Each structure stands twice: as C-alpha cells, then as structure tokens.
C-alpha cells in the first residue's frame, strides 16, 4: 500500500521512515515483554495481552479505514468461492 499511495519522488523516504518506525516498535515491544516478565506475567498472559491488543488495533482499522474492511470482506468472499469450486 505504501508503494502505491506515495508520490514517486518521496517514495524512498516514506519507505525508509516506515522501516525506522517498524524497528522502533520492535524494540518497544521487546522492552514491554521484558517488563511484563519482570513484573510477573506468565507467557500465556503475555500472549493473551498480545491477542487483545491485536483485536483492538483491528477494530480501530475497521473504524478508521473503511477500505480495510471492504478489502477484508472481499478477501473472505474470494476465499469462500475457492473452497466451493
């Protein structure tokens, strides 16, 4: 999506910024996991919190980006048609 939606002259900068943001979020998530373990969270509790966080982010995507929901519904329909055939 990033490559299709950005202007060709700024595309490299946008992709580089996205890579930096991804790296930063990976470090933050690793630190958060270490923090949760040090406080006494068990591994299943950490996975549960990740699942809840994923559900919240998915709900936000559906609300903020209508295209996301439309693409997801189209994907489900296509997947259902493939199973029938």
What is d(CA 80, CA 74) in angstroms, rounded to the nearest whole number? 10
What is d(CA 23, CA 66) in angstroms, rounded to the nearest whole number? 27
For tokens 């809840």, name the residue: 52
pLDDT at position 3, please?
81
Residue span of the structural domain in which 16 resides = 1-41
What's the total number of domains in the chain? 2
Quick one: 37 and 6 in the same domain? yes
Tell me: pLDDT of 76 over 80.
yes
**What is the pTM assigned to this prediction?**
0.67
Quick one: 31 and 63 in the same domain? no
What is d(CA 72, CA 62) in angstroms, rounded to the nearest whole number? 9
Per-residue pLDDT tens for 23-75?
A: 999 999 999 999 999 999 999 999 999 999 999 998 998 899 888 888 889 99
What is d(CA 55, CA 1) in angstroms, rounded to the nearest whole number? 21
Distance of CA 66 to the CA centre of its chain: 16
Quick one: 18 and 56 in the same domain? no
Quick one: 50 and 79 in the same domain? yes
pLDDT at position 85, please?
61
């Amino acid at each position: 999506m990033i490559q299709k939606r950005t202007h060709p002259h700024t595309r490299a900068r946008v992709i580089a910024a996205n890579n930096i943001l991804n790296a930063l979020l990976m470090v933050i998530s690793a630190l958060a996991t270490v923090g949760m373990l040090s406080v006494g969270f068990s591994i299943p509790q950490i996975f549960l919190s990740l699942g809840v966080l994923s559900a919240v982010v998915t709900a936000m995507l559906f609300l903020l980006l209508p295209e996301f929901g439309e693409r997801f519904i189209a994907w489900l329909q296509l997947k259902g048609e493939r199973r029938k055939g």
